[in-house]
Each structure stands twice: as structure tokens, then as C-alpha cells.
Amino acid sequence: MYKILISNDDGVKGPGLRPLLHELSKIGKVYVIVPKSQMSGMGHGITLAKYKKVEEIAKNFYVIKGGTPADCVKYGLYSFLKDKIDLVVSGINTCPNLGQDVIYSGTVGAAREGALKGIPSLAISAAEMDAKEYDHSAIVAREISEKILKRKNAFKNICLNINVPKNYRGIKIVPLGIRFYEEDIETIIATAADKKERISYKLKLSKKSISAKKNKGTDVDAVNKRYISITPLQIDQTDFKLIKKVKL
């Protein structure tokens, strides 16, 4: 029986978690290790030199208080699941992870952690902002997982970034596109009792993305046309074309 590790960045209350667990349980033994709370935007961040509390809330279902998505996968793969996992699946994220989103995404970070360990890994995201329904995405995750599990060796060290629109028309294997967001910093300056100013800030990120024009044939373009986008992300980020050109 295949053994599958599920994680996410939306935490134990993430609305895409249970549908994903339901579908993947049809094809293998599933272990869930997720952050206890929302950890979106953590990227591939990990916790160093600190203990994190791990709690088993159901059979093979664990939460880590304060743990990042990558922490969750590391915990499983380095502890009791060592050498037992055939596939890592992260998601289902509540909104798309397209273009440079993959740099910031905790969903992708968790999947990439699996790929770093040589395990085929999937990052699954709904292609709508604040999606309300995840059953169709979970079914897609199961169907793709079944295909990957039959060809595990071909997908070692590969993270597949997958975005699933509602009423999708098909699947396209595409490169990452380019997405920009309206961003701003909100700053608050307050005077404390010791008369020193305390500066607090919050990143304000619009949910509306502003895509660049040159997105034809990319994941952004595919999702806009209601196709499932699948982008293979490799671990080595070296730009080999530039190695011989860069002179400092």
C-alpha cells in the first residue's frame, strides 16, 4: 500500500484539508502533519533551535503549534515516517499559487521539502481566490497522485505545482508566468511609557493580481483559460545559461 504524507499552510482548519484527506485515503495510507494555525506566506521557512509542540489529534493526524509547513514535512520525514513515504501532497490551498507566488507560498514550500528528500511531491491550489468548494480539486489531486505513484522514480526531486479551476477544460503542462500585486506598507508609530517611539508595520497585499502582458503559454494564461496548470519545479535553481556570461 502506498504511503502518503499530507501537509498545508492553511493549518488544521484549512477548508481544503479534509476533502484532500478523503480522496487520497482511497489510494493509500495517509498521514497528516499540518501547522496548528494559518501559516500562509511562510515560503520554505523552517524553525531552528526551538522545540515545537506536536499533538496527535486523531490516528495518523498531527498538528505542530507554531510549526511552518516545511517544519511539518521535515518532522514526518525525519522522525517516525523515515523511509516510509511514497508521496508528499501539500494543500489544498484556498487560492492560486501562480508565477512568483511559488517563492512565498507555504503550500509550495511544504511540497518542495518533500522533493528535497527525493520524494515526488505535489502542491495543490484552488485557482479561485477564497475558494468555497474543494471536492473537484481533491479529485484532481487523487487522479494525478495515482499517476505519479506508478512512475515514482521519474519524479524524484520534482515538485509539481498544480492549480485547479472550477469547471476546468483540461490540463496544460506549462512554465511559471509573472504576477504582480498591489502592495503597500501600513505603519503605526506609538510612544511607549519610556517615551521611546515604537514602530509597527503591516504588509497590505491586494487580493487582485496584476499580471504582466507576456504570459502567453504560462500557468497564469492556462488558469485564465480554465485549464488545470501543472508546472514541474526543480530543486536546483541555477541559471546555467548565465554562469559563463556573468563577469564581476
Residues 6+ apart with CB under 8 A from 213: none
Give the mean pLDDT of 181-201: 71
pLDDT digits (tens, 9 = 90+) for 119-165: 999 999 999 988 889 999 999 999 999 999 999 999 999 999 999 99
Treating both helix axes as pointing N-terminal to C-terminal, what angle do 17-24 and 135-149 enclose, rounded to 10 degrees?
Answer: 40
Residue 141's Cα: distance from chain center in Å? 13
Q: Among 101-105, 179-183, 216-220, name the one with the lowest average pLDDT.
A: 179-183
Res. 209: pLDDT tops 70: no
Q: Does the pTM exceed 0.95?
A: no
Q: Which pLDDT does position 193 carry in this prediction?
A: 67
Please, what sign has the CA dihedral across residues 139, 6, 153, 174? positive
User: What pLDDT, on a 0 to 100 scale, did the predictor assign at position 246?
Assistant: 83
Would you state the pLDDT for residue 93? 97
pLDDT single digits (tens) 66-109 = 999 999 999 999 998 988 999 999 999 999 999 999 999 999 99
Nearest to 178 by CA among 217, 125, 134: 217
pLDDT of res. 242: 87
Domains and CATH numbers, the chain: 2-173+214-236 (3.40.1210.10), 179-211 (no CATH)
- 1-36 pLDDT, tens digit per residue, is 999 999 999 999 999 999 999 999 999 999 999 999
The predicted structure's pLDDT at residue 167: 93
Contact of 89 with 124, CB cutoff 8 Å: yes
The pLDDT of 110-115, averaged and rounded, is 97
Mean of the pLDDT values across residues 212-231? Answer: 91
